Amino acid sequence: MPGPPASGPNTPAPSPPRASESRRIVLLGWDAADWEIINPLLDAGLMPNLRKLVERGVMGRVATLEPALSPILWTSIATGKTADQHGILGFLEPDPVGGRVRPVSSSSRQAKALWNILSQSGLRSHVVNWFASHPAEPISGAVLSNAYCKIVGPWGTEWPIVPQSIHPARLEDTLAGLRVHPGELTGDDLAPFLPKLDEIDQKTDKRPFELASILAETVTLQAATTWLMENEPWNFIAVYFDAIDRAGHHFMRYRAPRMSDVPERDFELYKDAIDGFYCFHDLMLGRIVELAGPDATIIVLSDHGFQSGRYRPSVPAGAKDDAPLAWHRSHGILCMAGPGLRRDELIYGPGLLDIAPTVLAMLGLPRGADMPGRVLAEVFESPPQVETIPSWEVVSGGAPAVVAAAGDDSWAAAAVLAQLADLGYIDSVGEDAREALRKLQNDRNFNLAKVHIAGGRPHDAIPLLQELAGNAADEHRAGYLMYLAQANSNAGRLEESREIIDSVLAIEPNRTSALVIRGNLALAQGDPDLGLEYLLKAEAEWNDSPHLKHLIGRVYLRSGKWDEAERCFRAVISFDSDFAESHAGLARCLMETRRWQDAANEALEAVGLKFNLPGSHYVLGVSLARLGEKQRAARAFETCLRLAPETQGAQEWLARLHTAN
């Protein structure tokens, strides 16, 4: 890992604070896990171990980040930093030695992860399979990198441990023996996922092998994690399971209700696979909780959700899914249980960047001021005294940076690249190294531009997008121009944004994304009628879009057409209950029509999904004040003003409430 930024030449780096050695935390990453699937399984008694955690802890929906790519998200979870801070910008990176591309690595991460911070603070951590954790870092504890469990070669052939995938080296022989190859699994092992396995012709249908590959790696990770818990001392464990995400991309299209493009026979054979993986994760959770003991805090987290209903992308039989991100939903899961945490409660508005500061607080350590997230004080029975230091990056101590050795893990890298290409996240890496590097740099710059836009830094995104659009082939240029127009709009450069969009519409007059942006620009320039005209034209091209329906509702809201706006927002929510902005719009409609209790409920739903919505806190405050709940109303207005200090209505309401008291 790269060293901390240099301070002054005569300024010694501060020593690390000491953590509480009596506390223990297990952080379980379930990539793409979604309450939409979990809740019915909980109700049916099929995930009893997670239900126990929910009943003795807190749960909520956690907002993802943009772009919703797993290496970016899981590195943000581990560091508490955004991608422009931690430096992981996608699945691939340039290989500085070989001149080709390779999977992202720990040696390219530019920020300390929790396990680095805890090592500096006197605690032992075990890290298993975390994204971008290869080569394994020499921390206090053990690291099994994301190359450890990768399957190389057919069953029965030599399967050596990938160099630098395990720290400390003394554990290599033991942990090598815990790995499971798909060839070891039997029909009985697959039966909970494929009850009709004996009816599948496995000579022509390779989907059972895909499932076996996912299951074998998952079993390997569980075996290694539980072995470390039983045999090595620890204060913090971070384990990443990608099975739910991988299984989703392979098998979610077969889950009930049957999609129109899925043959009835395929539906019958594979409809149980997804629920099988959720239930299997629950079984693994039970053993981990048992080994952790009653005094440990357990955190179960996903980086985003996964489409499982009507918005599942349609992929024809035998075709490759070329839009894997279309499967991702905006909110993942979060469940925390342990000593000192609230019990059986919902929490509202957590984000991925809040996890690292909260873990540090649980261990008695300060949050870095350069961590954009917050400590989730509401999960504690007694909110902790949150301390802050300028940055953990300048705190001294810890292991030196690890540098990837060249050429010694090519088989594992090839396996990772093949898996990512199979899931549709990357194109297959061909022989033309120069072209592969050019495309990689474009992808990284595009992702960085998206990070800047999502982080409210559109001026930083504009030059990146201008260069991408200027050098792009015709088939890619329009996509870059869409984001360039959005960045200009966000930066207040409305005329520049309009010129860009009009240039796209001159070539593709029915391009829905361009029509949407053009409609938004008309709204921003004070012409709601023209904005509605563009949006309705886009809706004619893309009628099944909740995002577009939301934008149309927003036009009605701005025009004071409360009934029309309410119908739009309710339609969006009926399709996607996690659409925070539509809950916010509906709350506003309800407030304007003096339905105070309903408005408060919807405003709570909005901020529960996305805390950083000052308008919803304002609506909540007004509604609670009208209901006579003055203290709660004051807290809502105070939150609104923290997020948007210029909100005059909130200031006036607060003054009125304080005067009344």
Q: Read off the pLDDT of residues 248-297 as tens digits, 9 standing for 90 and up.
A: 999 999 999 999 999 999 999 999 999 999 999 999 999 999 999 999 99
- Report the pLDDT averaged over residues 535-564: 86
Q: What is the pLDDT of residues 603-646, one digit of tens each?
A: 999 998 888 899 999 999 999 999 999 999 999 999 999 989 98
- Report the pLDDT averaged over residues 1-23: 57
Side chain identity, residue 79: T
Q: Is the pLDDT of residue 215 over 90?
A: yes
- Report the pLDDT averaged over residues 45-71: 95
The length of the chain in residues reads 661
Q: Which of 170, 285, 180, 287 is nearest to 230 (CA)?
A: 287
pLDDT of residue 609: 86
Contact present, 193 and 211 (Cβ < 8 Å): yes
Task: Name, in order, each residue with C-beta under 8 angstroms of 253's C-beta and a sequence gap of 6 or more.
Answer: 259, 261, 262, 312, 315
Side chain identity, residue 163: P
pLDDT of residue 5: 44
Lowest mean pLDDT among 107-121, 199-213, 336-350, 470-484: 470-484
Q: Is the pLDDT of residue 403 over 50?
A: no
Q: Copy the structure tokens of residue 635.
A: 């807290």
Q: Which of 336, 282, 297 is nearest to 58 (CA)?
A: 336
CA-CA distance, 642 to 367, in Å (whole number)?
19
Cis, peptide link before residue 400, omega less than 30° from 0: no
- Report the pLDDT averaged over residues 491-506: 93
Contact present, 455 and 487 (Cβ < 8 Å): no
Contacts 24+ apart (CB under 8 A), 451-457: 451/65, 451/66, 451/67, 451/72, 451/82, 451/83, 451/84, 451/89, 452/84, 452/487, 453/66, 453/483, 453/486, 453/487, 453/490, 454/65, 454/66, 455/82, 455/84, 455/372, 456/490
pLDDT of residue 320: 60
Contact present, 621 and 653 (Cβ < 8 Å): yes
Q: Is the pLDDT of residue 21 over 70?
A: no
Lowest mean pLDDT among 127-131, 395-399, 512-516: 395-399
Q: Is the pLDDT of residue 425 over 80?
A: no
Task: Name, in order, each residue with C-beta under 8 angstroms of 616's C-beta and a sequence gap of 6 or more.
Answer: 583, 584, 587, 603, 606, 607
Q: Is the pLDDT of residue 428 over 80?
A: no
Q: Copy the structure tokens of residue 114.
A: 């929790």
Please name the residue that has the structure tokens 């952790």: 292
Contact present, 15 and 397 (Cβ < 8 Å): yes
pLDDT of residue 383: 85
What does the DSSP assignment read for 117-172? HHHHTT--EEEES-TT-PSPP--SEEEE-TTTT---SSTTS--PPPTTSEESGGGH
pLDDT of residue 420: 58
CA-CA distance, 38 to 50, in Å (whole number)?
9
At 419, is the pLDDT very low, low, confident or very high (cuts 50, 70, 90)? Answer: low
Highest mean pLDDT out of 315-324, 364-373, 643-652:
364-373
CA-CA distance, 146 to 89, in Å (whole number)?
17
pLDDT of residue 539: 84
Highest mean pLDDT out of 65-69, 220-224, 479-483:
220-224
Residue that wins the pLDDT comparison between 101 and 495: 495
pLDDT of residue 18: 63
Side chain identity, residue 37: I
Q: How many CB atoms lie within 10 A of CB 495?
A: 10
Contact present, 278 and 42 (Cβ < 8 Å): no
In the predicted model, what is the mean pLDDT of the chain? 89
Q: Which domains does the chain have, with CATH numbers?
A: 24-394 (3.40.720.10)
CA-CA distance, 44 to 365, in Å (whole number)?
40
Q: What is the pLDDT of residues 117-172, one digit of tens each?
A: 999 999 999 999 999 999 999 999 999 999 999 887 788 788 889 999 999 999 99
At 384, is the pLDDT very low, low, confident or very high (cuts 50, 70, 90)? Answer: confident
pLDDT of residue 219: 98
Alpha helices, DSSP H only, in 271-348?
273-292
- DSSP code of residue 351: B
pLDDT of residue 417: 55
Query: Residue 64: what are its φ and ψ, rounded to 5°?
Result: -80, -175
Task: Name, in order, each residue with C-beta under 8 angstroms of 585's C-beta and a sequence gap of 6 or more.
Answer: 550, 553, 554, 557, 565, 568, 569
- Report the pLDDT averaged over residues 473-497: 90
CA-CA distance, 534 to 528, in Å (whole number)?
10
What does the DSSP assignment read for 371-437? --S---GGGBSS-----EES-GGG---SPPPP-PPSSSSHHHHHHHHHHHHHHTSS----S-HHHHH
CA angle 468, 470, 476 (to 5 degrees): 60
Residue that wins the pLDDT comparison between 439 and 408: 439
Q: Is the pLDDT of residue 209 over 90?
A: yes
Question: For the CA atoms of the chain, what is the radius of gyration?
Answer: 25
- Report the pLDDT averaged over residues 60-75: 94
pLDDT of residue 158: 82
Q: What is the pLDDT of residues 318-333, one digit of tens each?
A: 556 557 888 999 999 9
CA-CA distance, 291 to 36, in Å (whole number)?
29
pLDDT of residue 568: 93
Contact present, 378 and 347 (Cβ < 8 Å): yes
At 526, is the pLDDT very low, low, confident or very high (cuts 50, 70, 90)? Answer: confident
Q: Which of 587, 556, 558, 559 is nearest to 573 (CA)?
A: 587
